[in-house]
Amino acid sequence: VTPVTYIPVQMQKQCVSAAERIRGKPYEAFFDTELLVPADRLDLIQRGPMPEAFHVRPNPVDVERSIREIDAFPDAGWALVDGSVAFVQSRMFMPGVTVEIMRWWFLWHANEPERYSLWFPHAHVSNTVSDRDRYQDEALSYGERLYNNTNTVLEYIGPSLVGIDIHFQSPEELGLNPAFIEAGGFAFNASAWNAPSFAPDTAFSLMIHLGRDTEQGFEFISRYWIGAHADLNRYPGGEHAPAVLETMGFGPDELEGLAYELSVHDMTEFHHLAGFLPDLYRKFS
């Protein structure tokens, strides 16, 4: 691992605010502002976009194929796909983390913005859950609490503060084949379709987070698409994405820049989370 050498000014300032806000919380000791990233990822994301062989489209067939053939893919990468959608992919192993711990984290962190800030102190501003009572109801299953219970996050991706409505759903609801999930042993899922908070009826993003326990720790597989693509039209309002992107002033160059920023964000936040999550779980679960 190696220290992060660049943090946008807005994120530097957000980290200062978050450090003040978290003071006195019982989990304050887990607020760590030293960001480290895996050194072996850098060459994968700092030397331009992935070649076309690794461009995956946001439809179930291509998603499943890319995960079945995961050993052939680089462990991290980004690209502009079909000229209109940012694509980011990553795979990491988290020693000491399990499916159970990661499920706990997804249900625990959203209850307070201070908890959310542990994950990425410089970038994570707040997370509001649509049906808070259901989210907190320990009599319900993970899926009953998380799925179709919108998380509205406010976070920096690079220098931009973005509001995103995250609609977590089961793999099946998102269109993945149950046989694929079962064959892969993906006991963990935090996949979703997303809308910008300013245009909540427009799906402009698909996010796949699947995980499984392995001997090297929790294997975490992520795929993100943000933008407009015919394959996103299966999600609510996906057909309005081109108009929303135009409102945002996002053409191909901006989308490609966003893909790289999101790749850096993903690498940073999940590596950071993996560092403190086992201890946090032991203390607060």
Overall residue count recorded for the chain in this entry = 285
Q: Considering the complex, what minimum distance in angstroms separates the CB of residue 20 from its own copies?
A: 13
Please enumerate in sequence order all residues whose Cβ is within 8 A of that of 25, keeping only pairs 6 or more positions apart, or say none: 112, 114
User: What is the nearest approach in angstroms of its own copies to the Cβ of residue 81?
Assistant: 15
User: Which residue reads 């706990």 in tokens?
Assistant: 104
Q: Phi-psi category of 194—alpha, beta or left, where left has phi over 0 and alpha has psi -120 to 50? A: beta
Contacts with its own copies by CB under 8 A lie at 2-10, 12-13, 15-16, 37, 39, 42, 46-49, 159, 256-257, 260, 264
Q: CA of 207: how far to CAs of 35, 41, 114, 198, in Å?
A: 24, 20, 24, 19
Using a 10 angstrom Cβ sphere, with 0-12 exposed, 13-18 middle and 19 or more buried, the burial of residue 110 is buried
Minimum gap (Å) between residue 88 Cβ and its own copies: 13
Q: How much helix, strand and coil, in percent to the nearest 5, is found in the chain?
A: 45, 25, 30
Nearer to its own copies, 2 or 247 (CB): 2
Q: Which is nearer to its own copies, 55 or 103 (CB)?
A: 55
- Compute the least distance from the CB of residue 226 to its own copies, in Å: 15
Is 146 in contact with 106 (CB distance < 8 Å)?
yes
Residue closer to its own copies by CB (options 260, 281) is 260
Instruction: Report the candidate in 43, 7, 61, 30 with the shortest Cα–Cα distance to residue 231.
Output: 61
| Residue 181 or 267 having the CB closest to its own copies | 267
Q: Which is nearer to its own copies, 10 or 126 (CB)?
A: 10
Closest approach of its own copies to the CB of residue 90, in Å: 15
